[in-house]
Amino acid sequence: MIMKGGTHIVGDHIDTDQIIPARYLGSLDPKVLAEGCFYNLIPQFATMVTPGDILVGGENLGCGSSREHAPIAIKSAGIACVVARSFSRIFYRSAINIGLPAIVCPAAVDFARQGAEMTVDFDKGVVESGGKSAAFAPFGPSILAIIAAGGLVPFMSQRLARESATA
Amino acid sequence: MGLTATQKIVARHCGRDAVAIGETVTVKVDLAMSNDMTSPLAVKQFRSAGAKKVFDPDKICIVAGRHMPFRDEAFGSAVGLVGEWCRDQGIKNFYANTEGMDHALVPDLGFIRPGMLVCNADSHTCTYGALGAWGLPMGSTDMAYIYAFGETWVRVPETIRVRYTGKPAKYVTSKDYVLATERALTVDGARYKTIEFCGPALDALSVDERFTISNMGIEMGAKTSFMAPDQKVRDYLATRTKVPYEAVYSDEDAEFERSVDIDVSKLEPVVAKPHSPDNVVPVSELKNIRVNQVCIGTCTNGRLIDLQQALEVLRGRKVAAGVRLIVTPATNIIMREAEKLGLIEEFRALGATINPPGCGPCAGWHQGVLAEGEVCVATHNRNFPGRMGSPKALVYLSSPYVAAATAVAGVIASPAEVLS
């Protein structure tokens, strides 16, 4: 799998309140969540995204509240993949679970430039942009199985199907 | 090499004698939870996956009245659907009326016991560590999986030990201990790790005071918080549950990633300045900061002792002109106790607004949302930009003593200043 898109950069410790303010949490509608994505930080964020673009964050991306609306809002805004120096653990799990790959790659954050094209090659484990590239650590087997299924919901469906077949 | 309490709890829940730090394993969950914000998505994902029955309705508890009374049709409908799902699934522990918020409620109901592994779709699930349980915060889709199968994957985390020593000065509380720890560890210093709190100054605290500390583990990035259960915990549980439990303790020679010592006798009351819980300074450094609102409550400081401490300062004084004092007891149990003791009446006489039990304005959802340019002192756990409303509002985090002193002075103030 290879993802290629324009780069959108945010800073360190961007918490889930900044990703999607609480007043948007009454809805699970992707359109509403896309509209609220980074509402206070980067107004109109979703209008600047071309579907398939890549979000680049600093340290501890997605810290704070456990709201899964945060990765859903980012995905709904059109972002295909998130690269950061580090993630908060709840956000990291939730992003993977909803099919938004989250990549830890500090070197890529160093060379990322706003608007530049970035390529993430999942098979080679490499992030590339502006003629520079950096490797990222492979996913563990638990996470890989979820990504391979297309997220935790299809992963669940597969397990339910297996279990009902053997029951 | 001995084992940490974390390793022992994880091992027990994956049917092994021991697990190594860094290993990824599948664990059985003793109690699975979600709330009014996170349940609707968990239920939706459960259904989308085609799941029909939950793994065990008696091991699920949904506290969906954190924001009762519900503010709009969409939110009310979403919680209503969760209630129907609970009825269909035979989940009896569904609370969506006046019961209040989960992190104060479920320990009080005796649902949290030492050695348990609890998953809850809320970041402050680490609060349960004060009872020697492993409270693991999750997202909604992770909870949907747990609701179906009763298990989840975890990486066995390293443990950072935080040791509190010394005797605190008057008006220095467990909130000051944990804010001082935020300053020492920073907002992501414990990312993916367990923080095990210990030491004589922790032992000296009541169980309710300890919840304030375990609650804020997540504000240091921790996976969870843990405290070794002692006689005070056993006494706390004796009046709340008859279910037997087996506590776990870290071995003397367990592997801790590092240890941080905090001498609480050297602390004075502190506050976390905007916009991060680790931006901590002594309250005496802040001069002439006018406030519009003071909030007392939440899963951090919405228990009986917090209301009592606030009134120690407020009693016999007046709330400064132009300051809104908002009190939100975390649960109805606390509200009723406070009423019996006359505390609620005292707050009312001071002109305070008493919110229904729950989360109040902490997440900027309702009941005290801040306008642009407003300044608030809150006993809450977070002050990220926009947390309580406008991103241009300024939120300072403090103990109930400092919050109350500020309400009296109209500017951020230490209790000693106001009482002298």
Q: Are B301 and B175 in contact (CB under 8 A)?
A: yes
Q: Which pLDDT tens digit goes with each residue over B361-417?
A: 999 999 999 999 999 999 999 999 999 999 999 999 999 999 999 999 999 999 999
Pick from A90, A141, A160: CB nearest B139: A90
CATH number at residue A20: 3.20.19.10
Residues A23 and A92 in one domain: yes
Residue A99: phi and psi, rounded to 5, are 85, 30
Domain count, chain B: 2
Q: Are B220 and B213 in contact (CB under 8 A)?
A: no
Asked whether residue A144 falls in the same domain as residue A72, the answer is no
Query: Which of B219, B236, B262 lies at the terminal end of a domain, its last residue?
Result: B262
- The verdict on B40 and B166 lying in the same domain is yes
B105 and B56 co-located in one domain: yes
Suggest the residue from B54, B384, B388, B392 to mutate for an interface test with chain A (most A CBs closer than 10 A): B384
Q: Considering only alpha carbons, which residue of chain B is nearest residue A62?
A: B221
Q: Which domain holds residue B107?
A: 5-262
Three-class HEC string of B75-108: HHHHHHHHHHHHHHHCCCCEECCCCECHHHHHHH
Instruction: Specify the DSSP class assigned to residue B166.
Output: S
Task: Choose the closest CB to A18 out of B121, B145, B385.
Answer: B385
Tell me: do B154 and B50 sit in the same domain: yes
Shortest Cα distance from B391 to chain A (angstroms)? Answer: 6
ipTM score for this prediction? 0.96
Query: Which amino acid, A107?
Result: A
What's the gap in Å between the CA of A65 and the closest CA on chain B? 5
Question: Is residue B391 within 8 Å of A40, Cβ to Cβ?
Answer: yes
DSSP helix/strand/coil, B203: helix
| Residue B190 in tokens | 């414990």
Judgement on whether residues A40 and A95 belong to the same structural domain of the protein: yes
Tell me what pLDDT residue A167 has. 73
Percentages helix, strand, coil for chain B (3-state, rounded to 5) are: 35, 20, 45
Same domain flag for A120 and A44: yes
Q: What percent of chain B has pLDDT over 90?
A: 100
Which pair of tokens denotes residue B397?
């985090």
- Using a CB–CB cut-off of 8 Å, the residues of A that contact B are 13, 15, 17-18, 21-23, 25-28, 40-41, 59-60, 63-69, 71, 86, 88-91, 93-94, 97-98, 140-142, 151-157, 159-161
Residue B184 and residue B38 share a domain: yes
Q: Distance between CA A145 and CA B38 in Å, rounded? A: 24
Q: What's chain A's average pLDDT?
A: 95
CA distance B293 to B344: 18
Q: Which of residues 155-214 of B touch A (CB under 8 A)?
A: 155, 187-188, 191-192
Q: Which two tokens stand for residue A57?
A: 């964050």
Which residue in B198, B157, B192 sits closest to B177, CA to CA? B198
End-to-end CA distance of chain A: 35
pLDDT digits 0-9 by tens, A96-146: 999 999 999 999 999 999 999 999 999 999 999 999 999 999 898 899 999
Q: Tell whether B74 and B31 lie within a shared domain.
A: yes
Q: Between the CA of residue B367 and those of B89, B243, B272, what are the distances in Å?
A: 32, 37, 22
CA distance B392 to chain A (A): 9
Smallest Cβ distance to B384: which of A15, A98, A142? Answer: A15
> What pLDDT does residue A23 have?
86
Nearest-neighbour CA in chain A from B387: distance (Å): 6
* Cβ-defined contact of A40 to B385 (cutoff 8 Å): yes
Q: What are phi and psi of A64, to 5 degrees?
A: 95, -145
Q: Are residues A89 and A158 in the same domain?
A: no
Q: How many domains does chain A have?
A: 2
> Taking CB atoms and an 8 Å cutoff, what residues of chain A touch B387?
15, 17, 64
Residues in chain B where the model's pLDDT stays below 70: none
- Cβ pair A90:B49 closer than 8 A: no
Q: Which of B307, B312, B269, B280 is nearest to B176 (CA)?
A: B269
CB B221 within 8 A of CB B188: yes
Alpha-carbon dihedral angle through residues B337, B342, B347, B353, given to the nearest 10 degrees: 50
DSSP H or E segment with residue A7: strand A2-9
- Distance CA(B121)–CA(B38), nearest Å, equals 6
Q: What is the pLDDT of residue B420?
A: 84
Angle of CA points B57, B61, B67, to nearest 5°? 140
Question: How far, in Å, CA of B326 to CA of B407, rounded?
Answer: 10
CA distance B181 to A166: 51
What digits encode the pLDDT tens for the residues B93-151?
999 999 999 999 999 999 999 999 999 999 999 999 999 999 999 999 999 999 999 99
CA distance A154 to B3: 36
A143 in the same domain as A127:
no
Residues B288, B215 within the same domain: no
Q: Are residues B257 and B302 in the same domain?
A: no
Q: Note whether B237 and B287 are same-domain residues.
A: no
Among B196, B227, B262, which residue terminates a domain?
B262
A145: containing domain? 138-167
How open is the CA angle B307-B311-B316, to the nearest 5 degrees? 165
Report the length, in residues, of chain A: 167
**Is B278 in the same domain as B191?**
no
B-chain CB neighbours of A89 within 8 Å are: 191-192, 221, 223
d(C-alpha B199, C-alpha A63), whole Å: 28
The verdict on B385 touching A (C-beta cutoff 8 Å) is yes
Q: In angstroms, what separates the C-alpha of A27 from chain B's closest C-alpha?
A: 7
Between CA A50 and CA A78 the distance in angstroms is 6
**Joined tokens for residue A62:** 């997605």
The CATH number that applies at residue B378 is 3.30.499.10
Looking at the structure, tell me whether residues B289 and B221 fall in a common domain.
no
A-proximal residues of B, 85-124, CB under 8 Å: 121-123
| Res B180: pLDDT | 98
Q: Please check whether residues A127 and A98 belong to one and the same domain.
A: yes
Cβ-defined contact of B382 to A64 (cutoff 8 Å)? yes
Q: Are residues A95 and A149 in the same domain?
A: no
Size of interface A-B (CB pairs under 8 A): 135
- How many Cβ atoms sit within 10 Å of the Cβ of residue A166? 6
Tell me if A34 sits within 8 A of A47, measured CB to CB.
Answer: no
Q: Given A86, A93, A159, which is nearest B142 (Cβ)? A: A93
Q: Is B16 on the interface with A (CB under 8 A)?
A: no
Do residue A154 and residue A88 come from a single domain?
no
Q: Are residues A68 and A107 in the same domain?
A: yes
The amino acid occupying position B263 is: D
- CB spacing of A67 vs B221 below 8 angstroms: no
pTM for this prediction: 0.97
| Chain B residues lying within 8 Å of A25, measured CB to CB | 37, 365
My answer on whether B203 and B60 are in the same domain is: yes
Both B326 and B225 in one domain: the answer is: no
Instruction: Using the 3D structure, point to which of B202, B236, B262 is the last residue of a domain.
Output: B262
Q: Are residues A102 and A142 in the same domain?
A: no
One domain, residues A29 and A101: yes
